[in-house]
Amino acid sequence: MRHKDKVAVVTGAAQGIGLGCAQRLHDEGARVVLADINGAKVAEAARQLDPDAATAIGVACDVASQAEVKALIAKAVERFGTVDIMVNNAATTVAADPLDLTEEEFDRVMAVNLKGTLFGCQEAGRLMVAKGGGAIVNMSSMQAELAIPTRVPYGVSKAAINQLTKIFALSLATKGVRVNAVAPGTILTDLTRGGVLSNEDSYRMILSRTPMGRCGEVDEIGSVVSFLASSDASYVTGQTLYVDGGRLTLNYVVPVDTLPGR
């Protein structure tokens, strides 16, 4: 299997894209540490992967705290001996008019999304450099390029993650550590189904800007993360791969006849 005998840490892994990434890495042979601020939920997610906790464990972690990220990496080493793959996926957002956004709202999103990714790159990166190699995959977003007026800190944080990915990739390129990012479009998770996709007009608007005519599946992000973390991507570093059904390159709208996957 692609990741046999590897150890992966995935943050924000209690649900959605993070859980999908953990599932894919686990299916391909990795021992996985799932981390999330919701300790009970991430513990249950880990049990779904392995009820015996031999190859998957859940750890409560607020990635906005460097001390907690350091403890997360230490826990992975204590349990499985090392960390070969780090997926910095944990994120949060807030909806607010740019003129009404509060300092506290801005700071919390930046702390989780950007500082959390920084801390994950640092703590996993140090370990990987010491042992001679590894792969880091950061979770960006199409909102790094496409602005949504009510998502100020989210878009800013994701654009910064793209640059952070390039910086760490250059810094670690000669040390055997590759650093890349994945930028999803609209993905079918419980959150999107209960949110923007629950409204037919908003769903049609999204699909009208998606050339492939559908939203993405969680495993379609997990598969790209798995590829970037594997030896198949051994000459790939510093890249942000947009997995968005062609949305980023579209400069017109397409007709929408049906609403698949709703």
Per-residue pLDDT of the chain (262 residues; tens, 9 = 90+): 899 999 999 999 999 999 999 999 999 999 999 999 999 999 999 999 999 999 999 999 999 999 999 999 999 999 999 999 999 999 999 999 999 999 999 999 999 999 999 999 999 999 999 999 999 999 999 999 999 999 999 999 999 999 999 999 999 999 999 999 999 999 998 878 777 777 888 888 889 999 999 999 999 999 999 999 999 999 999 999 999 999 999 878 777 877 776 6
In angstroms, the CA 35 to CA 38 distance is 8
Q: Is 214 helix (H, G, I), strand (E, B) or coil?
A: coil
- Domains of the chain, with CATH numbers? 7-188+217-241 (3.40.50.720)
> Crossing angle, helix 66-80 and helix 116-131, to 10 degrees?
40
pLDDT for 261 equals 66
Query: In 3D, which of 158, 135, 145 has the Cα closest to residue 238?
Result: 135
pLDDT for 199 equals 82
Please state the length of the chain.
262
**Residue 154 designated active-site:** yes
Catalytic residue among 154, 203, 235, 242: 154
In angstroms, the CA 253 to CA 72 distance is 44
Burial 141-161 (b: 16+ CB within 10 A, else e): bbbbbeeeeebbbbbbbbbbb
pLDDT for 223 equals 98
Q: How far apart are the first and last CA of the chain?
A: 33
Query: In 3D, which of 220, 216, 234, 142 has the Cα closest to residue 180?
Result: 234
pLDDT for 262 equals 62
Cβ count near 64 (within 10 Å): 21
- Six token digits for residue 184: 């999803």
In angstroms, the CA 38 to CA 61 distance is 8
pLDDT for 58 equals 98
Which pTM value belongs to this model? 0.95
